[in-house]
Amino acid sequence: MPSTLGTPCCANCNAAISSGDWNREHAFCTTCRAPLSALVFPAFIAEPVRAPGGEALGEAGEASCFYHPQKRASVPCDQCGRFLCSLCRVEFLGENWCPGCIDTRRQKGKLSHLDAHRTLYDNMTLTLAILPAFLIWPTIITAPVTLFLTARYWRAPSSQLPRTRIRFILAASIAILQIAAWIWLLLFLIYRRR
């Protein structure tokens, strides 16, 4: 059953919780009878803020919005300086940004506040260093690849959560050991033949 937006619902059966049970320590769902507690906050009753539509240009010579030439500019973008109408202005991190700047920075991965996905390259390299070692032979290829990936993604943004680079260091160490072992084996075979 889809949940009902705008009403606190039981987390078990999705039935709406009656208002008499909000912010009570002990309550029961009227449908599934499971004990529940619903914490409701002031945002629930706050009126939604309506975005202004932007004022039309009044007189000739007035600055117009970069994205909407027929609308009056109200602020410049704090990043690129473009004039923005009140519709295009985005309050972000305490500044006025234009949608273009947000989009560009986000695509470049410079706005970690908006990232919804991160690839964990350190885990990838560590797996690439360890798993093939069980089969021994694949490490001829995977060890250099591990080193390359470690160097390539050393500075790439990793998890948003607290995380060190220990996995990269471990992966690189294991890969170097594997390469050293292969070199030693190669030299051993060459000198043994002579």
Partner 1 sequence: MNAEPRYRRLPGRAGVFIRHSLWMGPDHLLRVRANPFAEEYRRYYFKDIQALVLTELAHPAAYFLYTFSAFFAILFVALISSGHPAWATLCALSALLLFWLGVRIPDCATRILTRVSSDRLPSLKKLPSTRKALAIVHAGIAQTQGELDAAALQPHLSAHTAPPPAVSPQPELHRAEDWAHWTLFGCMLFRSVLILLALAFTIRSVAYSLLGDAVGAAVLLAGVLALLQQHRAKIARGVHWLVYGSLLWQAVSFVASVGLTGYVGFQLAMKRTTALTMLESTGRLYQAADAAAYFLLASVGIYLLWQRRFLLGAPPAVTGEVTTLDHQ
Residues in contact with partner 1 by CB under 8 A are 3-12, 15-25, 28-31, 33-45, 48, 93, 110-113, 115-120, 123-124, 127, 159-162
Whether the Cβ atoms of residue 45 and residue 56 lie closer than 8 Å to each other: no
Closer CB to partner 1, residue 26 or residue 192? 26
Q: In the complex, what is the shortest distance from the CB of residue 52 to partner 1, in angstroms, rounded to a whole number?
A: 19
Closer CB to partner 1, residue 69 or residue 157? 157
* Neighbouring C-beta atoms of residue 18, cutoff 10 Å: 13
Q: In the complex, what is the shortest distance from the CB of residue 50 to partner 1, in angstroms, rounded to a whole number?
A: 13
Bridging pattern class, strands 83-84 and 75-76: antiparallel
Closer CB to partner 1, residue 3 or residue 70? 3
- Report how far residue 91's alpha carbon sits from residue 89's, in angstroms, rounded to the nearest whole number: 7
Q: In the complex, what is the shortest distance from the CB of residue 62 to partner 1, in angstroms, rounded to a whole number?
A: 31
Whether the Cβ atoms of residue 17 and residue 38 lie closer than 8 Å to each other: yes
Q: Between the CA of residue 62 and those of 55, 76, 84, what are the distances in Å? A: 12, 14, 12
Q: In the complex, what is the shortest distance from the CB of residue 45 to partner 1, in angstroms, rounded to a whole number?
A: 5
Closer CB to partner 1, residue 110 or residue 186? 110
2-8 long-range contacts (CB < 8 A, ≥24 apart) are: 8/38, 8/40, 8/44
Closer CB to partner 1, residue 104 or residue 127? 127
Q: In the complex, what is the shortest distance from the CB of residue 56 to partner 1, in angstroms, rounded to a whole number?
A: 29
